[in-house]
Structure 1
């Protein structure tokens, strides 16, 4: 028994809110976004759980998206059924199960009607070491919500549209507030990566920078060194998501102020002022995470050290090296400020893989909006002359062919890539 139920009518055409007077708030959601989730696959899965007397609810980020009026791209489910229960149910119904590496953590993935459904048993943490947790399965929804990181991530939706909110996550979401479930210190010490998850969700949810709860920041400061034990791959996943969100420059600055940055692979003397400048002038153009992070790095060696800690991809490392190397030396001409010529000439001469894409990122970094738009429209022209053309003219020396081709390429560049094969070859016959 939850006790007396209070009714609050929220002024909205789509939501009626029921508040429980104790710890649980519920609401009934009947939006188009919610209804659109009910495909043949979900209806079939729901029928199986109901038939076997187990409850199935939507969990995690999908709840947050639905409450924000968005249709979630991915939907995770939680259930009172154990992994053994789910395997028995699915096997009896002839439902295929795939990718069951997560079974020891309580997750079974079922495939039905060409859709995958990831369903996880309710859990409680028995023991944590700051990186991993040993869990036990439970049927208590509140205990499962209690082990989650942030209040806005601790809610569930029943398949009838009922929201189950044990820690005022919906209120926090409406107020654009990011809070840990219960004690910030305890949640962080269970998994130190939650420090970055706090910052990442702050950048997604908060309207304004700098409105952190002092107690939260203090808990992060006192536990910053715990980040040293977190794998670089896990850090990079969260950091990338944070860098493409709101307030990225502010959040990086806070990480330095709280002593977190040094434990996650960022340079001790990172150029926070440069990162702030680059973010302010470029974030509207969606720069890649590595483009923004390059502003923090002062030299190429910083990219190498970052890679050692975070295990960034080869493509990301090459982009970082490219931006750090060329951000000062490759700039627009003062004589022709609206011309792409220095950038296009570099691409024509470059052996850089994917040079045009890297150049777009460099232009974002430099704040060159007009040139960026031109670069996106520009198609790399093909140099029309080959060594075969020169051999047909009777030139047989490989060294001479190489010199002539380079000279013709320079002439072609001067023409802004307009001269054709015949016109270029006339330069050879006339020389």
Structure 2
């Protein structure tokens, strides 16, 4: 399919003709910019469609409302409004020029020059724009870089990075998504300015790190970053080799699991990573569960037995068990297509965690009082039950309860009323 055909399909996507009809023309120009144009040309999935406009944000609001479109002022002070068409959001941002930057954020003024707006962007492949007539505008050579699979900073890399140090991580993320390698000049600039990552908020670092480690060629760029000391902000020494065997090269994946494969070796690492990247409680708990399950199987070179898998389900829960299994497979250097590990993952996916067929009341009935004695008895019974293979037969369970009681009598407690 030719470029013209690909771009025509982009202009025909639901909602796009309506937003152009509302905001383009009458002395103002609207264009689709950035990722949607890039992905359309590459034949890759298109997510959100962002647009740039010569009109001030208040004019875009009035024109969209006049056309009967819903408008949300999501960032109107920065020139951005969101136009919602049939439930789909379209971000429309007035052209801007940087007035001042500090490495974290920029002070901007509105403009009308698409060329100047393109030159303030990060990479050439993100500076492409498409107008209503289907004309592709490429002021900085982004189309040629797409063909060469080259992620290249616009202008001087050091200048682009000092405008926003997050562009260091973005350079590697986009290289992992669209690059055939690492642009040498850009790579050198990222190394030289890596201390600038300390200026960024932990939330921004966390979000961008997960995007990077979920990219198709994350292992390739992570190895280069690790050699260059670009993961110091994690607070944990990285292990790119484990990430390399986590998933097949060229596949997108789970960024949090990518991080776990790269830098999770203990429960303490889960806490350090969660703090360094200011993760949510759910993300922290997932890392913690993965660390515990990974430690349970640490050193395994083959897929665990069904009995071991069932025990992990009981101890850690399904998600942590699945994550831990992936980590030990990667640690062992085993392919994602390995049939034994695939069967083990299917077992974890399809098998409900064992539910204990006993309660504290079973011990009360046998004269074990509340308190430390009860806790010790339950702990002993749980160990016996696991060792016996999680039986549910009432007679077997009763025998295990009696055995747990006898173990207690031989050590720390005496039954009441005996």
Which of 268, 275, 279 is 1:312 aligned to?
279
1:29 partnered with 2:5: yes
* Residue 390 (structure 2) pairs with residue 424 (structure 1): no
- Matching of residue 261 in structure 1 with residue 231 in structure 2: yes
Quote the offset at 1:340 in angstroms: 3.2
**Deviation for aligned residue 1:227:** 1.6
Does 1:364 find its partner at 2:326?
Answer: yes
Asked if structure 1 preserves the Cα contact closer than 8 Å seen for 2:158 and 2:189, the reply is yes
**1:129 Cα deviation after fit:** 1.3
SS of aligned partner of 1:383: coil
Task: State the Cα distance separating 1:419 from its structure 2 match.
Answer: 3.1
Whether the 8 Å contact between 2:101 and 2:107 is mirrored in structure 1 is yes
Unaligned runs of 5+ in 2: 335-340, 407-418
Contact 1:327 1:362 in 2 (8 A): yes
Aligned partner of 1:149 among 122, 138, 142: 122
1:55 aligns with 2:55: no
Q: Is the 8 A contact 1:148 1:154 kept in 2?
A: yes
1:341 aligns with 2:307: yes
The CA deviation string for residues 359-391 of structure 1, in whole angstroms up to 9 with x for no partner, is: 111111111723233222222233334456777
Structure 2 CA distance for aligned equivalents of residues 238 and 427 of structure 1:
51
Shift of 1:113: 3.2
Q: Structure 1 residue 103 and structure 2 residue 65: aligned? A: no
Q: Deviations over 1:308-338 (max 9, x none)?
A: 332122222233334445534434879x965
Q: Counterpart in 2 of 1:277?
A: 241
- Please report how far the alpha carbon of residue 130 of structure 1 lies from its aligned counterpart in structure 2 after TM superposition: 1.2
- From 229, 235, 252, the equivalent of 2:205 is 235
Distance of aligned partners of 1:186 and 1:237 in 2 relative to their CA distance in 1, 3 Å threshold = same
Instruction: Please tell me the root mean square deviation across aligned C-alpha atoms, in Å.
Output: 3.2
Mapped contact 2:385–2:400 kept (Cα < 8 A): no
- Identify unmatched segments of 5+ residues in structure 1: 1-13, 16-26
2:173 to 185, 191, 200: 200
Which residue is 2:263 aligned to?
296
Q: TM-score, normalised by structure 1?
A: 0.79
Change (3 A) 1:167 1:138: same
- How far residue 148 of structure 1 moved from its aligned partner, in angstroms, is 0.5
CA distance in 2: counterparts of 1:223 and 1:310, whole angstroms: 20
**Do the aligned residues in 2 keep the contact of 1:220 with 1:258 (CA within 8 Å)?**
no
Report deviation, 1:225: 1.7
The 3-state SS of whatever aligns with 1:341 is helix
Map Cα deviations across residues 99-126 of structure 1 (whole Å, 9 max, x no partner).
x241121101123433322111111112
Q: 2:57 maps to which residue?
A: 83
Alpha-carbon contact 1:288-1:361 (below 8 Å) kept: no
How many angstroms apart in 2 are the aligned matches of 1:383 and 1:119? Answer: 56
Task: Please state if 1:176 is matched with 2:146.
Answer: no
Give 3-state SS (helix, strand or coil) of 2:117's partner.
Answer: helix
Aligned pair in 2 of structure 1 residues 357, 155: CA closer, same or farther (>3 Å)? same
Equivalent residue in structure 1 for 2:192, among 191, 197, 222: 222
Aligned residue for 1:327, secondary structure, equals: helix
Deviation at 1:254, TM superposition (A): 2.7
Q: 1:250/1:113 Cα in 2 relative to 1: closer, same or farther (>3 Å)?
A: closer
Question: How many residues of Structure 1 are paired with residues of Structure 2 in the alignment?
Answer: 388
| 2:355 alignment partner in structure 1 | 382
1:321 aligns with 2:321: no
- 1:32 Cα deviation after fit: 7.9
CA deviations over 1:241-290 (Å, ceiling 9, x no partner) = 1111234334234334444333x3443xx1x4xx2221122123976434
Going from structure 1 to structure 2, the CA distance change for 1:221 and 1:409 (only over 3 Å counts) comes to closer
What is the match of residue 416 of structure 2? none
SS class of match (1:29): helix
